[in-house]
Amino acid sequence: MDRWFSDPEYLLYGITLALFLPCVLFGVIASVRVNTVFGKYSRIQSSSGISAQGYVRNFLLASGVTDIKFAAVRGSLTDNFNPTNNTISLSDSVRDSSSIGAIGVACHEAGHAIQHANKYFFSSLRLKLVPIVNFASKLMWPIYIIGFIFGLASPYTAIGRGFLIAGLVVMGLSMLFALVTLPTEFNASKRAHDYLKTCMSKEEAAGVKKVLRAAAMTYVASFMLSSLQFLRILAILMMGRRRD
């Protein structure tokens, strides 16, 4: 039992086990909260009466970005910006709504479009990481399934270490992507809020900020979980090396 406190790899593994459920709970709370906050502010209409898409067009124009296309996407909170074709897709619950929640979500996506136009470092880096992370993610589940079914994911054999190292690389890439996503998302929200403060009342802008802050916490939760998985695999590998 003493080794759980004296050996760094066992201590690290114990910490990842202890933090797993709190991190999962934080992720669930963040997901529930973003829907709750958006639901609340989707019932509060902007005094201007301008639709979310109208605000986006004005925001882009004020930022000197004029080559953005628009598309519709089904669902709720499925809004996104695609940098490969310069398209902002707005969902049914956002596009034509003039609610505080819809305007905040739509202008956040406009923030991403402006980042792309201005070659914002973190958004450019995230775009470059997308194909690498997608490829690595496709390999992740086969690696885990094969490793655990055949008992190969053991830190005490050369083959097992190979599987664990592969898993560590995949989780490391996921963690890096989640880390780069944080400043990208926070910056897009800041751009949106800074613009909306100039054309909304103080109370309306405060509501937008709450919606954007709630959405940002889901990205924090994603980073926490990917970091925890990375550290857990690292600790298992370190255990195997100590035994050798």
Q: Please tell me the distance from the alpha carbon of residue 222 to that of residue 187, in angstroms, as a whole number.
A: 17
pTM above 0.85, yes or no: yes
Q: How confident is the model at residue 81 (pLDDT cuts 50, 70, 90)?
A: very high
Q: What is the pLDDT of residue 10?
A: 81
Q: Which of 62-71, 74-83, 167-176, 217-226 has the lowest mean pLDDT?
A: 167-176
**Quick one: average pLDDT of 17-44?**
95
Q: What is the pLDDT of residue 133?
A: 85
Average model confidence (pLDDT) across the chain: 89
CA nearest to 134, candidates 165, 103, 177, 93:
177
**Quick one: average pLDDT of 17-26?**
94
**Quick one: average pLDDT of 185-199?**
96
**pLDDT above 60: residue 1:** no
**Quick one: average pLDDT of 165-191?**
92
Q: What is the pLDDT of residue 145?
A: 67
Residues classed as catalytic: 109
Contacts of 26 (CB under 8 A, 6+ apart): 221, 224
Residue 111 vs residues 3, 75, 98, 120, 188: alpha-carbon distances, Å? 50, 21, 18, 11, 4
Tens digit of each residue's pLDDT (9 = 90 or more) over 132-159: 888 877 776 676 666 665 555 566 667 6
Q: What is the pLDDT of residue 138?
A: 76
**Quick one: average pLDDT of 110-118?**
97
Q: What is the C-alpha radius of gyration for the chain, rounded to an integer number of angstroms?
A: 22
| Residue position matching structure tokens 């509060």 | 44
Q: What is the pLDDT of residue 169?
A: 87
Q: Is 104 exposed, middle or buried (0-12, 13-18, 19+ CB in 10 A)?
A: buried
